[in-house]
Amino acid sequence: MPVWLSVATSAITALNRRLFMLVVWLMAIVVPVMLFEVVARYVFNAPTVWGMELAVMLFGPYFLLGGPYLLHLKGHVALDLVRQRLSPVWLRRLDLVNYPVIVLFCAILLLHSVPAAWSAWSYRETSFSAWNPPVWPIKATVPLALALMLLQALVEFVRTWFHEAPTATESA
């Protein structure tokens, strides 16, 4: 693989890794919020207007922004029963087909999510609930996550094409 391409693929994976390590901490907020909501609702019969909504709003970015690095770690759902029976040559061929499909899927979703996120930002969209927090920052994470997933799928395709394993710092 050319040096410039190796540097670019490593940079994209490193960016996704750092973002993954950052969004993992959203669960440190979601879990106590959900615990508070459950106790308030079932012990004190006093549910909050914000608890469940905040948890859902934080889980979206957690789920979306963690996905690109999870793709690198091969942590997404796969047809393991089929993949176990394939030779390394056929696994490589399958990946060389699979990654462009992911890129295409992300590109189509990206084309549709950017206008929705832009519209939400333009109108400073809120949830229209009793709490009424802004939702446009959450909606902005959708095209961001799709762009990062698209880039990571390209990285994995290039690595598969050149038969390169990720470096130890990228996999850890």
pLDDT by residue, tens only, the chain of 172 residues: 889 999 999 999 999 999 999 999 999 999 999 999 999 999 999 999 999 999 999 999 999 999 999 999 887 777 677 888 888 888 899 899 999 999 999 999 999 999 999 999 999 999 999 999 999 999 999 999 999 999 999 999 999 999 865 555 555 5
Enumerate the β-bridge partners of residue 126: 134
3-state secondary structure of 123: coil
pTM of the model: 0.85
Which residue is listed with tokens 């909606």?
Answer: 139
Please name the residue that has the structure tokens 């006093």: 46
| 80-85 contacts, C-beta under 8 A, 24 or more apart | none
Other C-beta atoms within 10 Å of 25: how many? 10
* Structure-token pair, residue 29: 């907020």
Spatial distance between the Cα atoms of 168 and 165, rounded to a whole number of angstroms: 9
Where do runs of H (alpha helix) occur along the chain?
Answer: 3-23, 27-42, 51-72, 80-83, 88-122, 136-161, 168-171
**What pLDDT is stored for residue 78 in this prediction?**
72
